[in-house]
A and B are shown apart, each in its own frame.
Chain A
Amino acid sequence: DGGITQSPKYLFRKEGQNVTLSCEQNLNHDAMYWYRQDPGQGLRLIYYSQIVNDFQKGDIAEGYSVSREKKESFPLTVTSAQKNPTAFYLCASSIGTGVLEQFFGPGTRLTVL
C-alpha cells in the first residue's frame, strides 16, 4: 500500500525537551511538507522540501528544524525554542514541482505537559 506514515500518533513532551516527529512516504514523491494545525485555525506551513538534501522555511519555522537525507523521509524536530508547541502536526507530500496536489499523513498530536 502506498501512502504517508507519521509516528507517533500521540506525543507528550515536557517543557524544555526536543522531540522528533517521523514522516515517511513510499509514493516516490519528490516534495514533502510539514504543517501545524491549531484549533480554529487553518494549516500553517513550517518547512518544505522539494528535493533530497534541500529544504526551505515556511511561514512559521522558528523553533523547528528538519532534514531531508532520503527521498522517503522528512523528520521534524520541535525544539525547546518553540514557545507554544502543542498542536496537531501534519506531514504531506506531492509529486514534485509544478504538481501541487498534496496528500497528507494521519498526523501527530503533540502535547506539552
Chain B
Amino acid sequence: QKEVEQNSGPLSVPEGAIASLNCTYSDRGSQSFFWYRQYSGKSPELIMFIYSNGDKEDGRFTAQLNKASQYVSLLIRDSQPSDSATYLCAVSYTGTASKLTFGTGTRLQVTL
C-alpha cells in the first residue's frame, strides 16, 4: 500500500511567522510531489509542485524535497490569516501513470 503521511494538525502559527508543513511517503520510486491548499468547503487549489531534490521557491512558498529521506515539505513565509486552510500533499508513484496519492492534509491556523 503506497502511503502519504501528514500530521493532521492543527498547526498554529502567529501572523508573520514561518509555517512548516511536512509530508512523508512510502515509495522510494516516487517521482513527482504536489502541494494543494484547500479552504473549508472548497476544492483543492494547486500551490506548488517539485520533481527534483532541493528547494523550489514561488513567492512566499518554498517546497523542499529530500528523496533519500522520503519527505517533502512546504514552507510559508510571512504567514497571513488568509493562509489558514488545509494543505494536502500528493505524490505520484512509479508505474501508476497519471495517478496521484493524497495525504489526509494538515490544517494550518494563522493567528493574529
Give the number of residues in B that approach A within 8 Å (Cβ atoms).
21
Taking a contact as CB atoms under 8 Å apart, the answer to whether B99 and A48 are in contact is yes
Residues of A within 8 A of B43 (CB): 90, 104-107
Taking a contact as CB atoms under 8 Å apart, the answer to whether A43 and B44 are in contact is yes
Chain A, range 43-91, C-beta contacts under 8 Å to B: 43-45, 48, 50, 58, 90
- Which chain B residue has the least Cβ–Cβ distance from A90? B43
Taking a contact as CB atoms under 8 Å apart, the answer to whether A100 and B98 are in contact is yes
User: Which of B34, B42, B90, B99 counts the most chain A CB atoms within 10 A?
Assistant: B99
**Interface residue from B32, B45, B103, B104 paired with A104 (Cβ < 8 Å):** B45
- Give chain A's interface residues, CB within 8 Å of chain B: 31, 35, 40-45, 48, 50, 58, 90, 94, 96-107
